[in-house]
Amino acid sequence: MDDRLVHIASRIRDVPDFPKPGILFKDITPLLADGTMFRSVVDVMAERVAPHRPTRIVGIESRGFLFGAALATRLGIGLAPVRKPGKLPWRTVRETYSLEYGTDALEIHEDAVAGERCVIIDDLLATGGTASAAARLVTRQQGRVVGFAFLIELGFLEGRSKLGDHPIEALLNY
């Protein structure tokens, strides 16, 4: 494994039973607090994502904004936010997706991605419901999904099976 990834992994804190019993939450705040490691994440993501030649980064609320914004500035391309319902001010489209109990929804501005080569970014891929809803939003608004990037993939949840044939860059796998 790339030495940088070993150091990055050492800055992720496992929090048992958050936000509810049985969930092992991957807390990225120690990583964000370490400037060298935060920069390393952006370095590795940029190396992995650049070959897909994106023209827009699509960041998923809220931790996807942290890495998405840094990556967009590094690559010199724009960022489109995907947000929870009611947060975006202009005309939006919405996609709902299933959670363990019930459903949730995400929105994007109508004009955010049309004609763009999009890489969708979030901090963590679990069941894949969130990222696949973001991909549907992009496709519905005439954007082209050229890849996904995550800091962490929980491989045992098999979220990548929901993301089609697109390239998936995940820095750390658990």
Does residue number 129 form part of the binding site for ligand AMP (CB under 6 A)? yes
Q: Are strands 24-27 and 56-60 parallel, antiparallel or unpaired?
A: unpaired
Tokens of 114: 């049309």
> Of 11, 56, 61, 63, which one is the catalytic site residue?
63
User: Residue 63 or residue 83: which is nearer to ligand AMP going by CB?
Assistant: 63
User: Residue 116 or residue 153: which is nearer to ligand AMP going by CB?
Assistant: 153
User: Residue 72 or residue 151: which is nearer to ligand AMP going by CB?
Assistant: 151
Least distance from ligand AMP to the Cβ atom of residue 53, Å: 25
Least distance from ligand AMP to the Cβ atom of residue 91, Å: 24
Q: Is 144 a catalytic residue?
A: no
CA distances from 35 to 13, 32, 39, 95, 102 (A): 16, 7, 6, 35, 38
Helix runs in 10-161, H state only:
29-32, 35-49, 63-75, 129-140
User: Residue 55 or residue 127: which is nearer to ligand AMP going by CB?
Assistant: 127
Does residue number 23 form part of the binding site for ligand AMP (CB under 6 A)? yes
| Binding residues for ligand AMP restricted to 38-77, rule: CB under 6 A | 60, 63
Closest residue by Cα to residue 142 from 111, 107, 106, 96: 111
Nearest-angstrom CA–CA distance, 42 and 122: 13
Piece in contact with ligand AMP (CB under 6 A), picked from 44-52, 67-75, 128-136, 139-147: 128-136
CB 57 within 8 A of CB 151: no
Interface with ligand AMP (CB under 6 A), residue from 106, 119, 124, 145: 124
Nearest-angstrom CA–CA distance, 172 and 14: 14
Q: Is 63 a catalytic residue?
A: yes
> Which residues form the catalytic set?
63, 100
